[in-house]
């Protein structure tokens, strides 16, 4: 009987782990570990971020780097700081560490908890690291806080979905297409209904974005070819139309312009032109589905945001 129970326990663990792996791909909320405390030594700050990353992985979240809007952060409140008379002298600190899950786009904190820690070391850095070494991803208060945050995030997006879409549309109307797509695509998959609505809105904005870009680029290409209807002009046109997404509604005009240019080039120039066009057609960026293209826009926009902006928001929580 004990052997059977042990086997069942192994199967349960394996099944749970497999389920967690599946969730991490599509259904988990992605958290990023960010510590913005300016009065923590850099090495100790990175050490605490590593601890937070472990807590993210251990408590039903993902850290996939796709979206930087949700963060797990911590703030330190030093309660007691003493110099211990020893050889060498040591620094002893008692502190409260407040952990928070928040949204840097909505500037909203979803849940917090505070854990008391202490540390001792021969330097301030060592003292902080000593204290942070006691941060346990399985700490009950931390687990409860992370679960509460997850439920609060789901509730927030369920009740504010239409507002999020309206705000994104306003950004799109201002031609801030990438930011609009980023905000829509960063709604977590676990908020199923809202995620699907935002995905639909993002694809519509992406289509409008590439149509507008194609119109502008085509006008540039026409002007260049009219000014320089030769090999030099063809080279310039190739560089311009290589930026046009084939999924744009006026891509047929790109095809017509390509054919016109090809028909008027000499043999050597035509070979170079055809080579450029082959590169254009082989560009995997343009072979993405609309959804994957939206994700790529969201990732690029999110990664391009200054880290000090995120840390500045967190410092005010």
Q: What is the pLDDT of residue 12?
A: 41
Taken in order 179, 183, 186, 189, the sign of the CA dihedral is: negative
Q: What is the pLDDT of residue 285?
A: 66
pLDDT of 6 higher than 80: no
Q: What is the pLDDT of residue 105?
A: 82
pLDDT of 307 higher than 70: no
Per-residue pLDDT tens digits for 68-120:
678 999 999 999 999 988 888 899 999 999 999 998 888 889 999 999 999 99
Per-residue pLDDT tens digits for 272-288:
998 988 888 887 666 67
Q: How far apart are CA 23 and CA 4, in angstroms?
A: 28
Greater confidence, 60 or 284? Answer: 60
pTM given for the model? 0.75
Q: What are phi and psi of 288, to 5 degrees?
A: -70, 155
- Alpha helix segments (H runs only) across 174-306: 177-185, 192-227, 231-241, 251-264, 267-282, 290-303
Q: What is the mean pLDDT of residues 302-312?
A: 73
Q: What is the pLDDT of residue 85?
A: 85
Q: What is the pLDDT of residue 282?
A: 83
CA 216 to chain centre: 29
Side-by-side strand order, sheet with 90-103: 32-33, 70-84, 90-103, 108-121
In terms of C-beta density within 10 A (0-12 exposed, 13-18 middle, 19 or more buried), how is residue 136 classed? middle
Question: Residue 33: which residues within 8 A CB-CB, separation 6 or more?
Answer: 49, 50, 52, 53, 56, 63, 71, 72, 73
Q: Are 234 and 261 in contact (CB under 8 A)?
A: yes
Per-residue pLDDT tens digits for 203-257:
999 999 999 999 999 999 999 999 999 999 999 999 999 999 989 999 999 999 9
> pLDDT confidence of 3, banded at 50, 70, 90?
low
Q: How far apart are CA 217 and CA 281, in angstroms?
A: 17
Residue of 66, 71, 74 lying closest to 31 (CA atoms): 71
Domain positions in the chain: 25-157, 175-306
> pLDDT confidence of 308, banded at 50, 70, 90?
low
> pLDDT confidence of 67, banded at 50, 70, 90?
low
Which token pair is 314?
A: 């967190």
> pLDDT confidence of 66, banded at 50, 70, 90?
low
Element (H, E) at 312: helix 307-315
Q: What is the pLDDT of residue 203?
A: 96
Q: How far apart are CA 75 and CA 100, in angstroms?
A: 8
- How many alpha carbons fall within 13 Å on the CB side of residue 75? 13
> pLDDT confidence of 31, banded at 50, 70, 90?
confident
Which CATH code fits 25-157?
3.30.160
Residue of 40, 126, 129, 42 lying closest to 84 (CA atoms): 126
Residue pointed to by tokens 């008027």: 264
Q: Are 169 and 201 in contact (CB under 8 A)?
A: yes
Which token pair is 41?
A: 């030594």
Look at the chain and count its residues: 317
Q: What is the pLDDT of residue 9?
A: 42
CA geometry: angle 153, 158, 163, nearest 5 deg: 105
Element (H, E) at 23: helix 2-26
Residue 99: strand pairing partners: 74, 113
């Amino acid at each position: 009987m004990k052997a059977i129970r042990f086997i069942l326990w192994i199967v349960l663990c394996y099944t749970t782990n497999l389920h967690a792996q599946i969730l991490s791909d599509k259904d988990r909320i992605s958290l990023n570990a960010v510590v913005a405390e300016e009065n923590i030594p850099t090495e100790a700050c990175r050490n605490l971020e590593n601890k937070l990353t472990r807590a993210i992985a251990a408590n039903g979240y993902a850290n996939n780097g796709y979206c930087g809007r949700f963060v797990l952060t911590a703030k330190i409140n030093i309660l007691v700081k003493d110099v211990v008379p020893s050889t060498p002298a040591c620094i002893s600190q008692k502190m409260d560490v407040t952990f928070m899950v928040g949204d840097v786009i909505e500037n909203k904190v979803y849940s917090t908890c505070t854990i008391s820690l202490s540390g001792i070391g021969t330097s301030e850095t060592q003292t902080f690291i000593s204290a942070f070494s006691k941060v346990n991803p399985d700490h009950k208060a931390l687990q409860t806080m992370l679960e509460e945050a997850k439920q609060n995030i789901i509730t927030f997006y369920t009740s504010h979905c239409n507002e999020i879409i309206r705000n994104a549309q306003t950004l799109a109307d201002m031609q801030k297409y990438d930011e609009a797509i980023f905000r829509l695509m960063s709604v977590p998959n676990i908020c199923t209904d809202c995620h699907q609505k935002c995905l639909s809105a993002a694809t519509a904005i992406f289509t409008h974005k590439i149509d507008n870009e194609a119109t502008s680029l085509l006008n540039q290409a026409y002007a260049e070819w009219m000014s320089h209807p030769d090999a030099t002009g063809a080279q310039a046109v190739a560089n311009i139309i290589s930026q046009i997404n084939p999924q744009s509604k006026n891509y047929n005009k790109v095809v017509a312009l390509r054919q016109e240019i090809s028909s008027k080039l000499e043999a050597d120039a035509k070979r170079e032109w055809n080579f450029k066009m082959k590169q254009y057609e082989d560009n995997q960026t343009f072979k993405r589905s609309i959804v994957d293209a939206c994700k790529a826009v969201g990732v690029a926009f999110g990664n391009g945001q200054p880290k000090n902006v995120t840390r500045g928001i967190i410092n005010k929580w």
